[in-house]
Amino acid sequence: MVEMVVIGGGPAGMAAALQCSRSGMEAVLFEKGELGGLLREANLVENYLGFPGGLPGAELCSRFSEQLRRQGVEVRREEVLSLDHDGERFVIRTAEGEERAEMAIMATGTVPSRPGTGLAADGELVFDSVLPLADWRGMSIAVLGGGDAAYDYALRLSAANTVTIVSRSCPRSLPLLRKRAEGSPSVSILDRAALTGTRRTGGRLSIDLMHNGSPLALETDALLLAVGRDPADGLLRGPLRDRSESLIKDGVFYIAGDVVNGHRRQAAIAAADGIRAAMGARETRER
């Protein structure tokens, strides 16, 4: 048994585990994939204090990970399949076994939203993460979405590919991202274009759109979806469902980061949220 389990290795989870360790609490961090979460996909993080020139998301994640290592935080590369509370302790189950803990912080982040339209070649030419495309060169890629993420992904991919941003409405991204995209010779912007379907044509993808009331087909090598994120809160719909509110009230269970922060998906906010949760846990322990 351990004192604290932190579920999720994004900025919120890493900051929470680090703060717990600094407070003298025995903390174990569970993360099924690479540390960093959605931050690993960011082209450039420019609003994290201390880095005036900005920093690629992957590099910031690497620095976070190194800080965990130096602090001696235990990281288990396991997917948490269920989270429960037996009345005295949390019960964490993974494919590798079971762990028990006095307290828990859930920082499970988000999962990509999916458009309602059917997508041909899903998983082959249609992606919801920029990472599989990071090493592509000389390709034509369409990015579906009009928010910050869509423009950030497009700018990242445009260094070695041609990119078309397809948005069903006026852009919602930060003006500075829009300006950079408009100034890039490798980026085209197609506003007021609604996706109606996709078709695989040989080894490429034909994207069917309705643009200003008229049908339009866009030929591309891949489609990257950036149409929003949903909370990855499946653990709350499991055995813990009926007990979570009382456990939160008792100060032994915390939910932190993007999983509860809606559209405010910022590394600085998530990290601060993780620290807040860890400080709350310490206050509970010292009562």
Reported as a pLDDT band with limits 50, 70 and 90, residue 4 is: very high
**pLDDT at position 185, please?**
97
- Whether 251 shows a pLDDT value over 60: the answer reads yes
Lowest-confidence region among 167-171, 225-229, 246-250 = 167-171
Reported as a pLDDT band with limits 50, 70 and 90, residue 199 is: confident
The kind and range of the H/E element at 162 are: strand 162-166
Backbone angles phi, psi at 9, to 5 degrees: -110, 30
- Whether 180 shows a pLDDT value over 80: the answer reads yes
State the average pLDDT over residues 260-277: 96
Task: Assess if CATH 3.50.50.60 describes domain 2-111+229-285.
Answer: yes
Residue in the structure block whose two tokens are 């950030």: 152
Q: Which CATH superfamily is domain 114-225 in?
A: FAD/NAD(P)-binding domain (3.50.50.60)
- Whether 244 shows a pLDDT value over 70: the answer reads yes
Question: Per-residue pLDDT tens for 19-31?
Answer: 999 999 999 999 9
Strand partners, 209: 195, 216
Mean pLDDT of the chain: 94
Per the model's pLDDT, the better-predicted residue between 243 and 104 turns out to be 104
Helix ranges (DSSP H) in the chain: 11-22, 57-71, 148-157, 175-182, 244-249, 267-285
Please state, for a pLDDT cut of 70, what percent of the chain lies above it.
97
**pLDDT at position 123, please?**
63
Structure tokens at 43: 């082209």
Comparing CA positions, the residue from 281, 227, 268 lying closest to residue 106 is 281
Question: Per-residue pLDDT tens for 223-236?
Answer: 999 999 999 999 99
Ordered by start, the domain boundaries in the chain are 2-111+229-285, 114-225
Residue 131: half-sphere exposure toward Cβ, Cα within 13 Å: 11
**pLDDT at position 116, please?**
67
Do the domains spanning 2-111+229-285 and 114-225 agree at the CATH topology level? yes
In the chain, % helix, strand, coil (3-state, to 5) comes to: 30, 30, 40
- Whether 164 shows a pLDDT value over 90: the answer reads yes
Answer whether 283's CB lies under 8 Å from 269's CB: no
Backbone angles phi, psi at 69, to 5 degrees: -60, -45
